[in-house]
């Protein structure tokens, strides 16, 4: 997966849900905090206001009572009348009493009620007294309806324990919780008596409804706004969850089969491998390929092709365990994660699947290839395993009957080598890493050097000496051989021209021309132009064509051979007798030279059959006016035999191996390169 795609997927998976969650939580806490602060500040101020207003009023009441009572002008009944009038004026007042405190013989403060209006007296004793407010000799005592002391904490005006105060009112039936009124005793010392006489007034501290409602409204506003924003965050979270699910589905769905896609396979495969089915069994990653899918689509239409893949997908899925996995990977490829106990068993299972797929359209011959990667390390990257199963598929040659392959390390090394060669070949050509080696050809009788074949060697900067069998087949499959052969023809022409200029008596050098050149109509002209750049006589360069080229495009080959000969180049048929050789090619191709393949001389020839074939082939070639070169000659006996059969030239290790140009120079012209330098 490329980096950008991976990044996008990661982003999708993250989906930034946390900011919304944090936002909602912070907002909730913030709102509660703000409400508490507003409520607290408001109530504190409100209570302070109420108390100070009420306190002024109570002072007046006390001075009125004190004035009358301390002068002793009033009887209790008259006092009751005064109190009744006071209560009429101030309906908040519920009780009035006058008390005197004194020390008992035990030294404890006690109280004596000298007058009371109503039944209430404050539960006023030193241990249980609760002062809400105590300043300027005015004491305010919190009370509940039974006048019992509620709390022991003394409270000054700035630290009014308003919550305790109002909380108590929840017990009162007509209170409007949480704010309504609080009942308190005002205990105020008289001014005119010197004894510790106090006037106690029980009154209600009332919070006006509209004030409370104002606050409530403000708080409701704040709460609603907060609730709205919190709701927004919650909706965003829900939306994100759904969006994420939807997007994940899109990202992981294969549009053709409707099943999962390769991305899902890579992401989930690893987790699947932890399932017990893969713990109890071996695991394999299989690539199952419908060959020539594009070709099928061209013939029957893309729609039909896609429908076919969809059917294949369902069929494969049906044959798998629920913990095994199949996805369509690309074109007609399916990636399968499968459990198996033995190699026979997996082949049996996969063959069964292939059979089922073949039966989908029995009228059409559809080929399937199967690459199997045996998973050794379940923690390995799934995409890597998938690629290795693909390497196994690539190792199946087109014409192979057996279309199942297990991945081997060797396959991987081969593939890596092909990659390496393809990465390096252009650079190698520019840097002249390809070197011309020459293998001499000798006449068997005089044993005289009479020709040579140019063979390429790659002197790789890191790999060192690389023989042609390691790169020529790769160049043939990717077309680079066209450039290499041109390069070799040019290098040989340059060398021949150089030797000619030096007055050397040069021998013909043959150059290999790969069969894939014969797709080119102007090949002969093209070769001629290269050689003519260096003014080398055409009879000093020979072209070796492999016999197999004859089976590709006969007329093209024939044309090229004719033209090359018209230009004066000798043309030889290389590797005659190897592979699918046909005497017909000798009949149809007007060639100058036949090169007998080295295979003729490889196997032991006890009953002399090989000798007969070689001898008669030479005789046949002679009759067709062709020269014969025997390749791969390694022994004296072979040389002697070929001499008796009138073979024209011998190329083989017996005389010489392919050698670098300077060595050849020394051999052919007897000149030491060291001397030349001097
Ligand atoms: P080829 O054209 O048949 O070349 C002859 C091969 O036989 C050479 O292998 C040579 O080294 C080898 N040989 C020669 N004498 C003996 C012998 O006595 N015993 C044994 N065992 N082998 C002998 P090389 O150089 O490895 O080349 C292999 C093939 O690579 C060549 O087969 C040719 O098909 C291809 N090739 C080499 N150079 C070029 C090139 O420049 N262009 C093209 N298209 N193909 C080339
Ligand atoms: Ca050759
Ligand atoms: Ca050959």
Q: Residue 373 in 3-state DSSP?
A: strand
Q: Note the pLDDT of residue 170.
A: 45
| Average pLDDT of every residue of the chain | 84
Q: Note the pLDDT of residue 428.
A: 98
Helix (H) or strand (E) run with residue 660 in it: strand 659-660
CA atoms within 13 A on the CB side of 602: 6
Kindly identify the ligand whose nearest atom is closest to the C-alpha of 468: 1
List, in sequence order, every beta strand (DSSP E) within 65-151: 93-103, 109-117, 131-135, 138-142
Kindly identify the ligand whose nearest atom is closest to the C-alpha of 472: 1
Least trusted range by pLDDT, from 47-61, 254-268, 328-342, 568-582: 47-61
> Closest residue (by CA) to atom 30 of ligand 1?
468
- Are residues 315 and 454 part of one domain? no
Average pLDDT over residues 67-71: 72
Answer yes or no: is 412 within a domain. Answer: no
| Tokens read off for 115 | 């007058």
Q: Which of 157, 191, 217 is the last residue of a domain?
A: 217
Average pLDDT over residues 279-305: 95
Average pLDDT over residues 369-389: 95
CA of 169 to the centre of ligand 3 (A): 115
Q: Note the pLDDT of residue 151.
A: 36
Q: Note the pLDDT of residue 481.
A: 95
Answer yes or no: is 676 within a domain. Answer: no
CA of 487 to the centre of ligand 2 (A): 16
Are the C-beta atoms of 365 and 376 separated by less than 8 Å? no
Residue 391 has pLDDT above 60, yes or no: yes
Looking at ligand 1, which atom is closest to the CA of residue 595? 3
Answer yes or no: is 17 within a domain. Answer: no
- Are residues 483 and 578 part of one domain? yes
Pairing, β 649-651 against β 659-660 = unpaired
CA of 305 to the centre of ligand 2 (A): 45
Kindly identify the ligand whose nearest atom is closest to the C-alpha of 629: 3
- Are residues 492 and 621 part of one domain? yes
- Are residues 512 and 441 part of one domain? yes
Q: Which residue has the higher pLDDT, 282 or 549?
A: 282
What single string gives the DSSP state of each residue in 206-239? Answer: EPPHHHHHHHHHHHHHHHHHHHHHHHHHHHHHHH
> Closest residue (by CA) to atom 17 of ligand 1?
632
Q: Per-residue pLDDT tens for 585-636? A: 888 888 999 999 998 888 766 778 888 989 999 999 999 999 999 999 999 9
Answer yes or no: is 10 within a domain. Answer: no
CA of 574 to the centre of ligand 2 (A): 6
Average pLDDT over residues 167-180: 44
> Left (φ > 0), alpha (ψ -120 to 50) or beta: where does 98 sit?
beta
Average pLDDT over residues 214-225: 81
Integer Cα distance of 27 and 40 in angstroms = 19
CA of 437 to the centre of ligand 2 (A): 12
If one counts the domains in the chain, the total is 3
Query: What is the arrangement of strands in the sheet containing 325-330, beginning at the earlier edge strand?
Result: 325-330, 333-340, 282-290, 368-375, 404-406
CA of 479 to the centre of ligand 3 (A): 20
Are the C-beta atoms of 389 and 373 separated by less than 8 Å? yes
Q: Can you say how many angstroms the Cα of residue 655 is from the centroid of all Cα atoms in its chain?
A: 60
- Are residues 469 and 371 part of one domain? no
DSSP symbol at 132: E
- Are residues 201 and 98 part of one domain? yes
Looking at ligand 1, which atom is closest to the CA of residue 488? 41
CA of 574 to the centre of ligand 3 (A): 5
Residue 427 has pLDDT above 80, yes or no: yes
Q: Per-residue pLDDT tens for 176-213? A: 434 456 677 777 777 665 567 777 888 776 666 566 67
Looking at ligand 1, which atom is closest to the CA of residue 575? 3
Are the C-beta atoms of 43 and 35 separated by less than 8 Å? no
When mean pLDDT is compared over 38-42, 322-326, 395-399, 582-586, the highest value belongs to: 322-326
CA of 545 to the centre of ligand 3 (A): 9
Domain holding 283, by residue range, is 262-407
CA of 631 to the centre of ligand 3 (A): 6
Answer yes or no: is 230 within a domain. Answer: no
Q: Can you say how many angstroms the Cα of residue 479 is from the centroid of all Cα atoms in its chain?
A: 35
CA of 634 to the centre of ligand 2 (A): 17
Q: Which residue has the higher pLDDT, 203 or 153?
A: 203
- Are residues 461 and 385 part of one domain? no
Residue with tokens 């989908």: 360
The protein residues having their C-beta less than 5 angstroms from ligand 2 (an ion) are 512, 544, 574
- Are residues 487 and 364 part of one domain? no
Q: Which of 202, 217, 232 is the last residue of a domain?
A: 217
Q: Which of 407, 442, 459 is the last residue of a domain?
A: 407
Kindly identify the ligand whose nearest atom is closest to the C-alpha of 652: 1
> Closest residue (by CA) to atom 42 of ligand 1?
512
CA of 671 to the centre of ligand 3 (A): 29
Q: Note the pLDDT of residue 141.
A: 63
Looking at ligand 1, which atom is closest to the CA of residue 597? 3
CA of 629 to the centre of ligand 3 (A): 10
Angle at which helices 18-71 and 209-251 cross, to 10° = 170
Query: Ligand 1 pocket check: which of 425, 440, 454, 455 to mutate, most ligand atoms within 8 Å of Cβ?
Result: 455
pTM strictly above 0.75: no
Integer Cα distance of 353 and 228 in angstroms = 58
Res. 529 pLDDT band, cuts 50 70 90: very high
- Are residues 397 and 305 part of one domain? yes
Q: Per-residue pLDDT tens for 480-507? A: 999 999 999 999 999 999 999 999 999 9
Query: Ligand 1 pocket check: which of 472, 574, 653 to mutate, most ligand atoms within 8 Å of Cβ?
Result: 472
Instruction: Indicate if the alpha-carbon torsion angle 15, 19, 24, 29 is positive or negative.
Output: positive
Query: Ligand 1 pocket check: which of 435, 631, 649 to mutate, most ligand atoms within 8 Å of Cβ?
Result: 631
| Tokens read off for 557 | 């080959």
Residue 33 has pLDDT above 90, yes or no: no
Integer Cα distance of 561 and 584 in angstroms = 16
Looking at ligand 1, which atom is closest to the CA of residue 511? 41
CA of 218 to the centre of ligand 3 (A): 102
Integer Cα distance of 671 and 660 in angstroms = 14
Nearest to 414 by CA among 394, 400, 399: 394
Q: Note the pLDDT of residue 119.
A: 76
Integer Cα distance of 525 and 567 in angstroms = 9
Integer Cα distance of 651 and 610 in angstroms = 18
Pocket of ligand 1 (CB under 6 A): 439, 455-456, 467-469, 472, 481, 485, 488, 512, 514, 574-575, 598, 632-634, 651-653, 658
Query: Ligand 1 pocket check: which of 487, 512, 549 to mutate, most ligand atoms within 8 Å of Cβ?
Result: 512
Q: How does 82-111 read in b/e, with b if 16+ C-beta sit within 10 Å?
A: bbeebbeebebbbbbbbbebeeeeeeeeeb
Q: Note the pLDDT of residue 588.
A: 84
Residue 129 has pLDDT above 60, yes or no: no
Q: What is the CATH number of the domain that holds 352?
A: 3.30.70.270
Res. 312 pLDDT band, cuts 50 70 90: very high
Are the C-beta atoms of 204 and 158 separated by less than 8 Å? no
Alpha helices in 292-450 (DSSP H): 293-300, 302-318, 343-358, 382-394, 409-430
Q: What is the CATH number of the domain that holds 545?
A: 3.20.20.450
Q: Per-residue pLDDT tens for 572-594? A: 999 988 766 678 888 888 899 99
> Closest residue (by CA) to atom 41 of ligand 1?
456
> Closest residue (by CA) to atom 10 of ligand 1?
658
When mean pLDDT is compared over 16-30, 302-316, 507-521, 540-554, the highest value belongs to: 302-316
Q: What is the CATH number of the domain that holds 114?
A: 3.30.450
Q: What is the CA radius of gyration of the chain?
A: 55
> Closest residue (by CA) to atom 11 of ligand 1?
658
Answer yes or no: is 595 within a domain. Answer: yes
- Are residues 375 and 340 part of one domain? yes
> Closest residue (by CA) to atom 45 of ligand 1?
512
Query: Ligand 1 pocket check: which of 468, 489, 659 to mutate, most ligand atoms within 8 Å of Cβ?
Result: 468
Answer yes or no: is 304 within a domain. Answer: yes
- Are residues 445 and 381 part of one domain? no
* Contacts by residues 226-232 (CB-CB < 8 Å, ≥ 24 positions apart): 226/27, 226/28, 226/30, 226/31, 229/23, 229/27, 230/24, 230/27, 230/28
- Are residues 474 and 618 part of one domain? yes
Answer yes or no: is 444 within a domain. Answer: yes
Helix (H) or strand (E) run with residue 329 in it: strand 325-330
């Amino acid at each position: 997966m490329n980096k950008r795609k991976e990044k996008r997927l990661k982003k999708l998976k993250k989906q930034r849900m946390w900011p919304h969650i944090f936002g909602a939580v912070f907002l909730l806490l913030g709102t509660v905090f703000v409400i508490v602060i507003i409520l607290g500040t408001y109530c504190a101020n409100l209570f302070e206001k109420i108390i100070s207003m009420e306190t002024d009023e109570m002072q007046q009441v006390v001075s009125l009572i004190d004035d009358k009572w301390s002068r002793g002008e009033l009887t209790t009944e008259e006092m009751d009348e005064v109190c009744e009038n006071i209560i009429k004026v101030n309906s908040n007042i519920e009780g009035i009493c006058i008390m005197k405190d004194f020390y008992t013989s035990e030294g404890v403060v006690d109280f004596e009620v000298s007058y009371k209006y109503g039944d209430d007296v404050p539960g006023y004793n030193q241990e249980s007294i609760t002062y809400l407010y105590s300043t300027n000799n005015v004491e305010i005592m919190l009370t509940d309806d039974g006048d019992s002391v509620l709390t022991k904490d003394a409270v000054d005006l700035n630290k009014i324990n308003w919550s305790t105060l109002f909380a108590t009112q929840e017990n009162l039936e007509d209170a409007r919780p949480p704010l309504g009124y609080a009942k308190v005793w005002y205990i105020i010392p008289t001014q005119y008596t010197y004894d510790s006489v106090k006037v106690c007034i029980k009154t209600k501290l009332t919070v006006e409804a509209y004030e409370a409602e104002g606050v409530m409204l403000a708080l409701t506003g704040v709460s609603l706004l907060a609730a709205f924003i919190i709701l927004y965050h919650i909706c965003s979270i829900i939306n994100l969850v759904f969006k994420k699910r939807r997007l994940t589905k899109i990202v992981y769905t294969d549009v053709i089969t409707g099943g999962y896609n390769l991305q899902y396979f890579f992401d989930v495969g690893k987790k699947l491998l932890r399932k017990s089915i893969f713990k109890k069994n071996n695991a394999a990653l299989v690539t199952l390929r419908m060959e020539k899918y594009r070709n099928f689509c061209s013939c029957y239409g893309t729609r039909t092709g896609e429908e076919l893949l969809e059917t294949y997908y369902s069929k494969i899925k049906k044959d798998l365990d629920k913990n095994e996995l199949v996805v369509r990977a690309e074109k007609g490829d399916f990636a399968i994660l499968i459990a198996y106990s033995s190699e026979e068993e997996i082949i049996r299972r996969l063959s069964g699947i292939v059979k089922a797929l073949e039966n989908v359209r029995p009228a059409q011959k559809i080929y399937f290839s199967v690459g199997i990667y045996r998973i050794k390390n379940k923690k390995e990257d799934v995409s890597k395993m998938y690629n290795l199963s693909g390497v196994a598929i690539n190792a199946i040659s087109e014409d192979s009957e057996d279309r199942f392959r297990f991945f081997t390390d060797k396959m991987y090394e081969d593939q890596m080598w092909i990659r390496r060669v393809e990465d390096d070949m252009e650079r190698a050509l520019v840097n002249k890493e390809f070197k011309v080696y020459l293998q001499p050809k000798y006449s068997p009788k005089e044993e005289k050097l009479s020709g040579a074949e140019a063979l390429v060697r790659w002197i790789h900067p890191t790999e060192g000496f690389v023989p042609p069998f390691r790169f020529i087949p790769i160049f043939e499959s990717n077309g680079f051989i066209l450039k290499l052969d041109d390069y070799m023809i040019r290098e040989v022409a340059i060398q021949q021209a150089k030797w000619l200029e030096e007055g050397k008596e040069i021998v013909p050098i043959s150059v290999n021309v790969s069969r894939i050149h014969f797709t080119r109509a102007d090949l002969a002209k093209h070769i001629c132009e290269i050689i003519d750049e260096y003014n080398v006589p055409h009879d000093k360069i020979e072209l070796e064509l492999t016999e197999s080229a004859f089976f590709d495009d006969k007329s093209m080959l024939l044309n090229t051979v004719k033209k090359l000969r018209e230009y004066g180049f000798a043309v030889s048929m290389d590797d005659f007798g190897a592979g699918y050789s046909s005497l017909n090619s000798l009949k149809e191709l007007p060639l100058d030279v036949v090169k007998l393949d080295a295979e003729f001389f490889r196997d032991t020839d006890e009953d002399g059959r090989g000798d007969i074939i070689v001898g008669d082939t030479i005789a046949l070639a002679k009759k067709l006016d062709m020269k014969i070169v025997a390749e791969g000659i390694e022994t004296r006996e072979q040389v002697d035999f070929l001499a008796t059969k009138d073979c024209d030239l011998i190329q083989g290790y017996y005389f010489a191996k392919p050698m670098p140009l300077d060595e050849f120079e020394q051999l052919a012209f007897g000149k030491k390169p060291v001397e030349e330098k001097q």
